Structure 1
Amino acid sequence: MKKTVFVTSLILVLNACGSADKGVPTQSNTQQAKAQEQPLVQGKFEEVMNNITRSWLKASPQSASALGVSEDIAGGRYIDRLGLTGLAGREQTLALVKSFVKQLEALIPSSLTQQQKQMVEVQLFRYRQILEIDQLVDYGTPYLTQYGPVFEPYAVAQMNGPHVEFTSMLENDHPVTNRDEAEAFIKRLIASSDMLAGLKEGVLADAKKGVVPPDFIIKKTAAMLRSLIAVEPQANPIFTSFKTRVEKNAIEGSEELQAQALEALSSHTYQGYAALADTLGSLLADAPHTASLSSLPNGEALYKAMIQLNTDTQMTADVIHKIGLDNVARIHAEMDLLMLSAGRTNGTVPERLNAMSKDPTLVYPDTEAYKQQTLQEVRDMIAAFDKVAPEYFATLPKASVEVRRVPSFREETSAAGYYNGPSEDGTRPGIYYLNLRSTSLIPTYGLPTITYHEAVPGHHFQVALGLELKGFPLLHRVNTNTNAFAEGWGLYAERLAWEMGMYKDKPLEDIGRLFDELHRAVRLVVDTGMHAKGWSREQAIEYMAATKGSDASGNGSEVVSEIERYVAMPGQALGYMIGMQKILALRSEAKAQLGDAFDIRAFHDAVLTKGGMPLPLLDQDVRETLGLSKD
């Protein structure tokens, strides 16, 4: 997603709390009858896939809202509910994952088509990883998200989680076109108190087991939580968005609904955020400063599992660390040649990168006018790419992609950009969010690369094409993008745009492309450095800043935010480079074996048009699709 930022980075729409039986209306008899009249299942395979889908979406109403699916598909009404958090949420998630594995394993292979077998293998690969982690530790949080199951070692952190996603979910995914939807919005505000209380419970339960986030994670997360309630409730984006839509759609009882929403926001959401921030603050005095996951109970084994979860491989931390160092050296050499050709000759490569970042001709003034200009330039880049795309892709997404600013409350802790996928019903486009807390965060020569990664042909193509697959169960269309596949494709997309000529006669933008690739190589070094080699947070910050020529002063710097991201999300940053290398290796083999018959459009179809896959299964499928040998 995320993740994405990426996030994830692909971005993760995570479970939140709220009981389904606390004053929430159930399906009407008419709706139940309609669901019975229009069964979703046809045969055992379809029955299992649809049962898993309904169970997943029933437990994760936010995912159902993000996808915009019908109540029939989601297993009932969901727009007035939030999912469980805390110990109950953890227990529910693990029980569901075990049930999913049991149902999938019970399918008789001989009764399945080859395509169905592959879909079963993809789902099992992902769910088994969560169960393997559960065998190692009794803390942390497994989630069933919009893009599949994930695991976070801390109950609450600054990057992802229901406490982070709640506002954007209500603003972007929850419709307010009639009174029923408006009342459901208010019920979700009321349910947020349970969601936040569940997170508080998880934080305290893990603390009793010796699992407390590092002090710098606690400080940043608490500050982010307080920023969500720093303004008066009537000025909060949650309320202003609701007010605007209620009035725009002339919903009956507008004033009454607004008063109820304001009361719910004040009494439930605000108090819940304040209590969660206070709880984190109470742990600060005894919080460790160490960055390493290995300092937690059985943390060394957990980090090995996080590497597997995020790279789809059995690579060791030592191997990944060396891949990072080797790529840093390679990229520095390539950048040196480009810099010389652009007349930038003074100093080391990092020193020249630092000079570029401070060059006033390459960084827009930090004003609202230039921030709006940045957004327009990104939209123009997407339009220019769309004209060339048919030469490289046989299948293009039907969904469009919209460019928006990262919400102000997320700017300090968010990555430079992230992507949210379109709705399943096609009514909402994909959304590419750009972080404009400061124009210096993304110099002008860095704009193209992040756009090609997050939007086209990166995550938008990857997510939208998967969602638009015909004849595939919804579970496979949305629940297959492993971190390595999704972020590997995103990094591959950056390189592909260069190969497509999008950087032609633009040496500075090409340096920006290599700068982002350097960033992914550095990640391999610092992530493994902190979690497997005993590096401190400060050592990792120093290495990243020195290698990239970046400013590491102040807690709001990009380098500090990135390093603290890897502390909160161990292993996630490893998937980018490892995933891209697999895709490039497959492409190289296809070119070598097919010769003149190689078609880049067919290769991209082979990678993208069967849904995301774990890297071992991707390798197998691409070979079979293109007729490549296995050697």
Structure 2
Amino acid sequence: MKLVLKIVGGLVALLALFVAGASVWFWFYPVTVNNAVNKFTAEFAMDTPELLTGLGMIDNTPLDFHSGKLSDYTKAQDEKNLARLKDARAMMNRFDPERLKGQEKLSWEISTWFLDDLIAQAEFEYSGYRVNQISGPTIDLPQFLTDTHVIKNEKSVKRYISRLNEFGRVLGEVTARVEDDRAHGVVPPDFIIAKAINVMKTFIEGGAEKNPLVTTLAPKLDKIDGLSAEKKAAYVADAAKIVGDRIIPGYEAMIALFEDMAATATHDAGIWRIPDGDKIYAAALHSSTSTDMTADEIHAIGVAEVARIESEMDAILVAQGLTEGSVSARVKQLMADPVHIFPNTDEGRKEMLSYLVELNDEVMAKAGAYFITLPPQKLEIVRVPEYSQDSSPGGYYNPPALDGSRPGRFYINQKNTADNPRWTLPTLLYHEAAPGHHFQLSASQLIKDVPLLRKVSPFGAYSEGWALYAERIAKTDMNMYASDPLGDLGRLQAEMFRAVRLVVDTGMHAKRWSREEAIAYMLDKTGNTEDEVTREIERYVVWPGQATSYKTGQLAILKMRAKAEAELGEAFDLKRFHELVLMNGAMPLGILEKTVDDWVADEKGG
């Protein structure tokens, strides 16, 4: 059950509010929607140490009770979380939505949809693969410990050491859960098992002394004033001992379990292969798209979008003198052209990162003409950690800490620089950084007078839809490709990638396509490298429905904008439209559409 991960990804701590003076009546008898939402948000957050650290609100303060701990990954904790969700939903029923107005009504609508969705998914106790090649504690926790846990003084070092011990516990709990999943008919496909084993073996190869949990500690200790060389050496030795005695054996136990499962695992790709798989996929589509569209409807939209985008790509290729072969064959020709590829060396990777920084600076210089609120939080552009690059996507974004202690980070996979020729990088930057995820996720943290739940983005169709919409406006409104036709081709290739996702995700999970059929379709339509396509298809295998959120969300936002432009005519203000969409925070698409309609009515009324 992916309940804990979903909650961790979508909830915000209220601990600071408690300390600021929230009284007993507030906690037990919340009298406003904001208080009620904050109450159930806080209850989950206080049980999720990783979330509290990720938010960066109280680590290394007198209020820090959590940063030496990790979450409980047991079945009993999942059951506790589900009961808590149901209690929270019952609490929201105390409010009559017909008597609510403005932001309070919007908060009620968003939070009840969110709770209903979590409960619906949580009812499927065995719904997916909790350890796989791209996610799960074996991947997520090492990156959390090396990148998110803040070491700034000796106490935070001791808490890091404590968390390493906790990681040993977690590995044991998760191994027990995987065994339980197996007993209930949930075993990953053979190719997922093979990739997961490879990732785990890569992480522990070289022993404790060469493990990232140890090697990343020493440079952080060097930044602590007054810490003696003897203490530094002792802390590194402590870390190495825990990694050697508890963490590596935990990985070895998980690897042994996966090797045993591989002996009988099947090759089928779709989630239909597990008990209740069809129902699980329907719930996943509802959650990912925040719509009631069926798999067949989504598949048909994908096929139509693929045809449209292919035609636009062909026009650019012909204008560049590339006329022979299919669209994807000509794109592959450009992808392989060494003139566009950064050297696959440390220097080449640094050059690529510098180019991405330049692109971000360029788009930020124009952003003020299209957005009212610009993110004050800093952005860092960094490489995906090498231990996870084999199965990580081409790029992803992690939002800044709420207290500003950690910037937003755009991670780019640089395992093979040929996967990202220069002309493909602008649209990747616009999606992950400005004006995409960095704008949306940073802006949401700035929203005032709403429950803290609305400052985060647990709605994939909104957040991924916005990022794909951002790719589009970089061309249509901001003219970022005015003198860069190949960059525009990169934009269309990326959009094609998302349209193809609608086809292959529903193909595998609803129409029972094989992994190989899905790979072949994506290769034929995108022109991406086989390695990149394979990583993507295998990602969709373990995250059913998630890949449909991008295009579904983009098309919905474009439709809302077109309707607003048609109704308001010359009175339509693009900056105000963007402010409305961003500064109300993430929400399901149906609620967003109603919010836009209400705004249009208000604009008409003067």
Q: If the TM-score is normalised by the length of the shorter chain, which range does it land in?
A: over 0.9
Deviates more, 1:503-512 or 1:164-173: 164-173
Match of 1:581 among 533, 555, 563: 555
Q: Distance in 2 between matches of 1:11 and 1:104?
A: 17
Classify the secondary structure of the residue corresponding to 1:425: coil
Q: Between the two proteins, what is the percent identity of the paired residues? A: 35
What runs of 5+ residues in structure 1 fail to find an aligned partner?
1-7, 16-30, 141-152
CA deviation map 1:33-73 (0-9, x unaligned): 99385659596234323322221212221111111022799
Q: Report the CA distance shift for 1:79/1:382 in structure 2 as closer, same or farther (over 3 A).
A: same
| Residue 117 (structure 1) shift | 2.0
Match of 2:198 among 223, 228, 234: 223
The residue type equivalent to 1:83 in the other structure is S
Classify the secondary structure of the residue corresponding to 1:286: coil
Q: Distance in 1 between matches of 2:603 and 2:511?
A: 38
Q: Report the CA distance shift for 1:154/1:34 in structure 2 as closer, same or farther (over 3 A).
A: closer
Match of 2:156 among 181, 204, 207: 181
Match of 2:130 among 144, 152, 155: 155
Q: Report the CA distance shift for 1:529/1:575 in structure 2 as closer, same or farther (over 3 A).
A: same
Q: Distance in 1 between matches of 2:236 and 2:65?
A: 23
Q: Distance in 2 between matches of 1:178 and 1:547?
A: 52
Deviates more, 1:384-393 or 1:537-546: 537-546
Q: Report if aligned partners of 2:8, 2:51 keep a CA contact under 8 Å in 1.
A: no
What is the match of residue 334 of structure 1? 312
Q: Report the CA distance shift for 1:201/1:74 in structure 2 as closer, same or farther (over 3 A).
A: farther
After superposition, the CA RMSD in angstroms is 2.6
- Relative to the length of structure 1, the TM-score reads 0.89
Q: Distance in 2 between matches of 1:319 and 1:107?
A: 35
Q: Distance in 1 between matches of 2:263 and 2:85?
A: 36
Are 1:455 and 2:443 matched, yes or no?
A: no
| Residue 431 (structure 1) shift | 0.4
Are 1:603 and 2:577 matched, yes or no?
A: yes
Q: Report the CA distance shift for 1:119/1:111 in structure 2 as closer, same or farther (over 3 A).
A: same
What is the match of residue 25 of structure 1? none
Q: Distance in 1 between matches of 2:435 and 2:278?
A: 37
Match of 1:79 among 53, 67, 83: 67
What is the match of residue 61 of structure 1? 49
Q: Report if aligned partners of 2:103, 2:450 keep a CA contact under 8 Å in 1.
A: no
Q: Report the CA distance shift for 1:73/1:300 in structure 2 as closer, same or farther (over 3 A).
A: farther
What is the match of residue 119 of structure 1? 107
Q: Report if aligned partners of 2:462, 2:586 keep a CA contact under 8 Å in 1.
A: yes
What is the match of residue 101 of structure 1? 89
Q: Distance in 1 between matches of 2:255 and 2:440?
A: 36
Q: Report the CA distance shift for 1:383/1:550 in structure 2 as closer, same or farther (over 3 A).
A: closer
What is the match of residue 523 of structure 1? 501
The residue type equivalent to 2:52 in the other structure is A
Match of 1:202 among 177, 199, 211: 177
Runs of 4+ in structure 1 displaced over 6 angstroms? 31-34, 71-76
What is the match of residue 232 of structure 2? 254
Q: Report if aligned partners of 2:9, 2:458 keep a CA contact under 8 Å in 1.
A: no
Match of 2:19 among 35, 43, 62: 35
Match of 2:267 among 289, 309, 313: 289
Classify the secondary structure of the residue corresponding to 2:593: helix
Are 1:138 and 2:122 matched, yes or no?
A: no
What is the match of residue 483 of structure 1? 460
Are 1:508 and 2:486 matched, yes or no?
A: yes
Deviates more, 1:124-133 or 1:106-115: 106-115
What is the match of residue 498 of structure 1? 475
CA deviation map 1:138-195 (0-9, x unaligned): 313xxxxxxxxxxxx1121122222211122112221111121111101110011121
| Residue 425 (structure 1) shift | 0.4
Q: Report if aligned partners of 1:603, 1:626 keep a CA contact under 8 Å in 2.
A: no
Classify the secondary structure of the residue corresponding to 1:391: coil
Q: Distance in 2 between matches of 1:485 and 1:37?
A: 34
CA deviation map 1:286-343 (0-9, x unaligned): 1111011112111111111111010011111111111111111111100111111112
CA deviation map 1:579-612 (0-9, x unaligned): 0000000110111011111111000011000111
What runs of 5+ residues in structure 2 fail to find an aligned partner?
none
Q: Report the CA distance shift for 1:438/1:597 in structure 2 as closer, same or farther (over 3 A).
A: same
| Residue 382 (structure 1) shift | 0.4
CA deviation map 1:436-459 (0-9, x unaligned): 001111111100011000111111
Q: Report the CA distance shift for 1:358/1:11 in structure 2 as closer, same or farther (over 3 A).
A: farther
